[in-house]
Structure 1
Amino acid sequence: MPSPTERWLPRLFKLGLLLLLGLGAWQCRDGWPVSANLMELVPQARTDATRQLAEARIQEPLSRQLVALVAAPAGGDSAAAARLLAQRWQQSGLFATAQVDVDVDLADLRARLLANRLALLPAAQRQQLLDDPAAYAQRRARELVDPFSSSSVVPVDQDLLGLARLAEQALRPGGAVQYDMGTGTLVAEGAGRSWVLVRATTRDDAFDSDAPARVAEQIDADRRALAASGADLLVAGGALYAAAGRAQAVAESGWIGGIAMAGIVLVLLLALRRWRALLALAPVAVGLLAGTVACVAVFGSIHVLTLVIGASLIGVAVDFPMHWLGKSYGMPDWRAWPALRRVLPGLTISLAASLVGYVALAFTPFPALTQTAVFSAAGLLGAYACTVCQLPAWMEYFRPRPWPPLLRFAEAALRARERLAGRRALLAVGAVLLAAITAGGIGRLGIQDDLRQWLSLPAPLLQQARQIGEITGFMPTSQFFLVRAPDPDELLRRQAQVSQALDAQVATGKLQAYNALSQRVTPQADQRALAAALGTLADRPEAWRAMTDIGLPFDALRQELRALAALPPVTLDAAMQGQAGERWRPLWLGQRDGEAAGMITLLGLRDPAALAAIAQAAPGVTLVDRSGELNRMFSATRVEAAELKLLSYLVAAALLCLTLGRAAAWRILAVPLAATACSLAALGYLGQPLTLFSLFGLLLVSAIGVDYAIFMYERVAGAAASLVGIVLGALTTLLSFGLLAVSQTPAIANFGLAVALGVGFSLLWAPWIRPPRQA
């Protein structure tokens, strides 16, 4: 009969469950609080406001911008197909902008080119004008007599020296994209076809809960509509990557959870042969609910990767009822409440040991580990509460029917262990061989920390992005230079110094191109110096003899030189205005706290190793390599997580000493330590690297190993019944984590494999634990 306290426990649990359900429903009031933003799972660097602004500018295209290329079949109108696509995007309501036509204001462009001639003049031509104006005049004279080399938006009679033409060339974006005056679009040639560029901005962020999926559906419909007329569509953008990642994570969590649940149902029905045994799944549901609600409460949302890993909590959460129900194999008169009283100390100690490990991981600076630790800790607490407080009330009149073959298997395994234990010489040889094999496997183990392990994008998306880069010639990279200086002029000088080093990389093919503010405008002091020099040259007709020899009157040249000398210098802020400054506008971060700041972005980088040395080209230059920083953070966090877990072992040892005694502590901890070592060796032999997530999996293995060892040590209802409970728990855990090993996301697959190996080795070593009196 249940005690008065036991009669109250179900009521308190139901009240707590109602509160948990209410909180979960309130958290979903504005939709499912599920995030697909990978950056939420990585540490955020502690940086100043200027660098944060720079990183936000770099991140913005990934969050909202899409780039598309449209090509009609041979002889077709690609511009018309691109305009149809832009029209469909505008009508969908998903896009804030969708641009095909480039509205070039020629009058404004001419005016800006004439006003910005000195500011836009490339460094080589500026230096030639200063050092050898006669050589410049000779080159310009050759251009003037060649009608094909002197064409420009600005008429020759307004630009005798060709400075506006040089400025126009400096404004061109480079790459393979060119402005087609016939259609008013940007066109690139590739694969024997003309591709028209379409640029769009989504209304919602790529990491909003539902927006990416709607954008992906819209683009699929657009591709079908264009294909009907024979046109091809290539699209790349953060929204598509987020939609694919979210869809894959949700699908994997669904089928992993579904197959695991089906397997666990089968195990329960086989082992206990009663339909009511399926109530053992209730702690799983409560655990998943508690973990999800806790994550949303702490972090504001739960990430899809946490959901995928959380789906595997099914196999761990069901361990609590499995140990309790498994005692029916050694208790012919099994009753719910009395059986719970006998296993409650072991369940509680196991829970405490597991929580110590998760709490330790929650203090790592890595949000991915922190969120998973919070989810797992809250989930285990919920599953424990359901098992201890509610299940006995539901199963008060439940009478399990143990499956005899399972008991016979456990008894046979224990007899085999006893026979081996009696052959000490053989055990010693086996131990030496096992140690050697384990050491050899660990020696083969490699360490890998790479952000790309977190990504598993569909091949068609990657192929489209690659094709767009190859056709347009633009392949942006995540690395960039942040340049700071006391004022805008010095900023431009420092960027020019970095540009010289980058030009060498471009010349050797290690870099495709780059964007720098110094390409758009020169320092005002340099503009004034050039203006003064041109004013002086207005009185030196001999310097312009090459041009006068082809018929240009020197009076016209003198007039233009004096007009150039009178041009006011162009400021950096002014240079960013209008269409001409659009390409460089995001690079200018403005002035704050007494310094000017700007970026240099890179395209088609093939040798990242050279960037660190280039950053030394000028003072105030910082190489920002977020992916590289994250990889280094992964390594540091992996070490820190291992240290914290070692500390948790010490805490667990102290807890076991206080509850079960010192003799029990080292026996129990030997199981997870041996399982972890064997798992590391197995990973080495399988050619799998040790990653941050496989380490996290092995840390979870330590909690599972402690759990198995405690129940084998206590041997409630006999060793065979305890082993049956462990086997049932191991089967359910393997069903969950083993399936993670086939995930398409490398980090999750690595995690699942590590846990599956660890559970298998924990099951292998746990039966060797014996109470001190039997040792």
Structure 2
Amino acid sequence: MRLPIERWLPRLFKLGFLLILCIGAWQCRNGWPVSANLMDLVPQAGNDAVRQLAEARIQEPLSRQVIALVAARPGADSAAPARRLAQRWTDSGLFSSVQMELAVDLAALRAQLAAGRLAMLPAADRRQLETDPASYAARRARELSDPFSSSGLVSVDQDWLGLTRRAEQALHPGGAVQYDIRTGTLQAEQAGRRWVLVRAETRGNAFDSNAPQRIATQLEQDRQALDADGAELLVAGGPLYAAAGRAQAVAESGWIGTGATIGIVLLLLLALRRARALLAFAPVAVGLLTGAVACVAVFGSIHLLTLVIGASLIGVAVDFPLHWLGKSYGMADWQAWPALRRVLPGLTISLAASLVGYIALAFTPFPALTQTAVFSAAGLLGAYACTVCQLPAWMRNWRPRPWQPLLRFAQAALSARERLASRRLVLWLGALALAAATVGGISRLGIQDDLRQWLSLPAPLVQQARQIGEITGFVPTSQFFLVRAPDTDELLRRQARISQALDGLVERGDLAAYSSLSQLVSPAADQQALGRSLAASAARPEVWKPLTDLGIPYEALRHELLAMAKLPPLSIDEALQGQQAERWRALWLGTHDGQAAGMVTLLGLRDASALDAVAQVAPDVTLVDRSGELNRMFAATRIEAAELKLLSYVVAAVLLLLTLGRAATWRILAVPLAATACSLAALGYLGQPLTLFSLFGLLLVSAIGVDYAIFMYERVAGAPASLVGILLSAATTLLSFGLLALSHTPALANFGLAVALGVAFSLLWAPWIRAPRTATQHPSFNN
């Protein structure tokens, strides 16, 4: 007899599903809310607004900038191919700005150098002028004797002391890139070939738009066009990495989802031999949609990595209908609603046990895990609701046709288990051997976590980025120093002390170069002190004798020295105006809460171990090392994930005690515990490391093991029918997660392998559960 609630449940489900569809459509009003930015999956820098601003400044070029080097064929105009590339990029409309030729305003640059010749003077020259001006004068005299070493943007008669030339030299960015006056381009030479630099910026964040794929297509066309002219193109940038990651994620989610779907379709048709059995996919579709909508609602977007993992959720979400349909192997009078009522307690307990594991993950600090947890938990709730509320209404007055060989296989497996269980000595010896093998495998297990495991960039992209770094001499690093001070003068002094320490690393070859605001401008008080010192030296003609001996009128020198004291001090904001300051512009973070803040960035770092000591040379200096911090956080989170895993077992035990009793609790929990231990051992023997993602996989294994154990313990419709149900469930899960183990992304492959092993071991150990004599058993098969 059909209960009244069984009429209302399908209606309520349709109403709820319609609401989810509307929410999903609203979330996509401005395009697909899908992110490919890897930084969305790592913890942010707490509540420190200044540090968040600094990290955003560091991240922005990586996410928006495309850098290309173009080399013409031998004997051709070096700038012509780069000029054509720049024009193609401009015409494509994909970039907000394209820069190839530098339109240098020489008059403005001369004026800026003249106004800032005290502010921009290198620290060594400033010290020499203050403490030993005679030595500086002698050196300047030697320069003037050589016309090649004394030339500069500002003529000699306007800068007798050469201060603007020294400031001009200090503004040179270093590396192999040089400004070519003839073509107005930045060029670098390697192995006899000249490479011209072309830079462009996308119109938005490359990781949060659909532009990366169009940019990648455009660059492939550009490469073919340049190849036809004999030119060579090297290109790197965040949009290319985003396009590669997006393409890989879409491809993997596509073939994983398609492969799992085809396998499950064949399995359903084979096991139930009715086309309507394919409606078991409805909970999967509902689960995937619900998970995606929940993720976007909580996080604002869903990451491609989550979608790839979500594709594997197909094998778990289909478990609910499979356990229900699988009871047809033990119920000759199987009908949709009555069969659901019999399995509903087991389905509900299984859902609760699975949710415990996912909810535990939501408390980890890594968005990668919390986003996956939210997606999976919401997806399972959606799949459960569809199975319980809607699927029986579609299956009303329909019966599956069980495939009898599968039932006979289950009966034979259980009989074999009984025969083996009766041989106590063999059983104990096997258990001891298995325990020893498990301990041996776990002892081989290594622990490894690195952000690079979350990426699988194509080799050509990595190779081109490496070549660009070698040619230009610029290899950015993720580490930088965040410096704070009560005022801008003190900020510049602290950065100057850091610069002195970094100079030692550069001399040892552990660092290629660095960028600091103190290289561009000195403290205002120091500028004024130097001006007064130079003005005072105007009354000492003997100091400047090397210059007057060259024929320079002393009166001209005296006038220039006195003018120094009248120069207004140059502030950081003023020094950052103009093209000459582009290298340092992003380093100035402004004033926040009464403190001035700025960065010191590094290039070509070879030894990061010395950076901690550098950070100690001045107060309020923070070494920001995101990769190092994340690796340390990985270690802490592994411990936290293990604790959460134990907590999930405790919660699951409480649930089982309250619903099934003490006897059932230890029997059921033995299955996931044994499966987890065996999975860890298998990972050790396979040479796979224990990572955050494999720990996440083992949390899922715990839920799956509890699921299988509950159904084998309750034995609704008999032990063989229950075993058939978990066989079908395990097969679908292995299809999805087994395919995930083939992913090119190491973290995902490790996760998929851990789950696949755990499911296989859960399937192996679940049939060994002995139910109490009061448990419902199939009349033709006794425990």
Name the structure 2 match of 1:23. 23
The secondary structure found in structure 1 opposite 2:150 is: coil
Q: Which moved more, 1:470-479 or 1:152-161?
A: 152-161
In the alignment, residue 463 of structure 2 is paired with which amino acid? Q
- The CA distance in 2 between the partners of 1:458 and 1:241, in whole Å, is 9
Name the structure 1 match of 2:271. 271
What is the 5 A alignment of 1:132-151? 132-151=132-151
- The CA distance in 1 between the partners of 2:756 and 2:707, in whole Å, is 15
Name the structure 2 match of 1:737. 737
Name the structure 2 match of 1:198. 198
- The CA distance in 2 between the partners of 1:424 and 1:412, in whole Å, is 20
Displacement of 1:425 after TM fit? 1.9
Cα deviations by residue, 1:580-616 (Å, 9 ceiling, x for unpaired): 2222111111223222111101111111121111100
Is the 2:330–2:720 contact (alpha carbons within 8 Å) kept by the matching residues of 1?
yes
What is the 5 A alignment of 1:381-400? 381-400=381-400
Displacement of 1:334 after TM fit? 2.4
In the alignment, residue 459 of structure 2 is paired with which amino acid? A
Cα deviations by residue, 1:359-404 (Å, 9 ceiling, x for unpaired): 2222333222221111111111111122222222222233322223
Displacement of 1:300 after TM fit? 2.2
- The CA distance in 1 between the partners of 2:363 and 2:130, in whole Å, is 62
Is the 1:353–1:703 contact (alpha carbons within 8 Å) kept by the matching residues of 2?
yes
- The CA distance in 2 between the partners of 1:204 and 1:591, in whole Å, is 27
- The CA distance in 2 between the partners of 1:407 and 1:368, in whole Å, is 41
In the alignment, residue 414 of structure 1 is paired with which amino acid? L
Unpaired runs of 5+ residues, structure 2, are 774-781
For the pair 1:756 / 2:753, whether they are aligned, the reply is: no
RMSD: 1.7
Name the structure 1 match of 2:466. 466
The secondary structure found in structure 1 opposite 2:377 is: helix
For the pair 1:91 / 2:94, whether they are aligned, the reply is: no
Name the structure 2 match of 1:407. 407
- The CA distance in 2 between the partners of 1:592 and 1:18, in whole Å, is 48
The secondary structure found in structure 2 opposite 1:78 is: coil
What is the 5 A alignment of 1:253-268? 253-268=253-268
Displacement of 1:288 after TM fit? 1.1
Name the structure 1 match of 2:588. 588
Question: TM-score, normalised on structure 1?
Answer: 0.97
Name the structure 1 match of 2:66. 66
Name the structure 1 match of 2:650. 650
Q: Which moved more, 1:401-410 or 1:64-73?
A: 401-410
What is the 5 A alignment of 1:611-690? 611-690=611-690
Cα deviations by residue, 1:628-676 (Å, 9 ceiling, x for unpaired): 2222222222322222232221111111111111100110011001111
Name the structure 2 match of 1:80. 80
Name the structure 1 match of 2:346. 346
- The CA distance in 2 between the partners of 1:45 and 1:487, in whole Å, is 24
Displacement of 1:697 after TM fit? 0.5
The secondary structure found in structure 2 opposite 1:744 is: coil
The secondary structure found in structure 2 opposite 1:448 is: coil
Displacement of 1:529 after TM fit? 2.2
Aligned residues: 775
Q: Which moved more, 1:294-303 or 1:614-623?
A: 294-303
Displacement of 1:454 after TM fit? 1.1
Q: Which moved more, 1:167-176 or 1:640-649?
A: 640-649
Displacement of 1:10 after TM fit? 2.4
Is the 1:244–1:457 contact (alpha carbons within 8 Å) kept by the matching residues of 2?
yes
For the pair 1:101 / 2:101, whether they are aligned, the reply is: yes
Displacement of 1:500 after TM fit? 0.6
What is the 5 A alignment of 1:279-294? 279-294=279-294
The secondary structure found in structure 2 opposite 1:515 is: strand
Name the structure 2 match of 1:307. 307
Displacement of 1:246 after TM fit? 1.3
- The CA distance in 2 between the partners of 1:387 and 1:161, in whole Å, is 86
Question: TM-score, normalised on structure 2?
Answer: 0.96
- The CA distance in 2 between the partners of 1:196 and 1:264, in whole Å, is 54
Between the two proteins, what is the percent identity of the paired residues? 78
Name the structure 1 match of 2:710. 710
Displacement of 1:216 after TM fit? 1.9
Cα deviations by residue, 1:115-154 (Å, 9 ceiling, x for unpaired): 2222222122222222222322222222222222222112
Is the 1:323–1:729 contact (alpha carbons within 8 Å) kept by the matching residues of 2?
yes
Q: Which moved more, 1:109-118 or 1:10-19?
A: 10-19
The secondary structure found in structure 2 opposite 1:68 is: strand
- The CA distance in 1 between the partners of 2:293 and 2:118, in whole Å, is 62
- The CA distance in 2 between the partners of 1:189 and 1:269, in whole Å, is 65
Is the 1:94–1:204 contact (alpha carbons within 8 Å) kept by the matching residues of 2?
no
In the alignment, residue 631 of structure 1 is paired with which amino acid? N
Is the 1:180–1:187 contact (alpha carbons within 8 Å) kept by the matching residues of 2?
yes
Q: Which moved more, 1:724-733 or 1:113-122?
A: 113-122
Is the 2:326–2:725 contact (alpha carbons within 8 Å) kept by the matching residues of 1?
yes
Name the structure 2 match of 1:125. 125
| Counterparts in 2 of 1:645 and 1:550: CA distance versus 1, 3 Å | same
- The CA distance in 1 between the partners of 2:47 and 2:235, in whole Å, is 33
Q: Which moved more, 1:658-667 or 1:43-52?
A: 43-52
What is the 5 A alignment of 1:168-247? 168-247=168-247
- The CA distance in 2 between the partners of 1:770 and 1:583, in whole Å, is 72
Is the 2:532–2:564 contact (alpha carbons within 8 Å) kept by the matching residues of 1?
no
Name the structure 1 match of 2:378. 378
Displacement of 1:472 after TM fit? 0.9
Displacement of 1:469 after TM fit? 1.0
- The CA distance in 1 between the partners of 2:389 and 2:400, in whole Å, is 19
- The CA distance in 2 between the partners of 1:186 and 1:740, in whole Å, is 46
Is the 2:291–2:378 contact (alpha carbons within 8 Å) kept by the matching residues of 1?
yes
What is the 5 A alignment of 1:289-688? 289-688=289-688
The secondary structure found in structure 1 opposite 2:164 is: helix
Displacement of 1:244 after TM fit? 1.3
For the pair 1:115 / 2:108, whether they are aligned, the reply is: no
- The CA distance in 1 between the partners of 2:705 and 2:642, in whole Å, is 17
Is the 2:407–2:721 contact (alpha carbons within 8 Å) kept by the matching residues of 1?
yes
Q: Which moved more, 1:756-765 or 1:204-213?
A: 204-213
The secondary structure found in structure 1 opposite 2:194 is: strand
Is the 2:45–2:51 contact (alpha carbons within 8 Å) kept by the matching residues of 1?
no
The secondary structure found in structure 1 opposite 2:97 is: strand
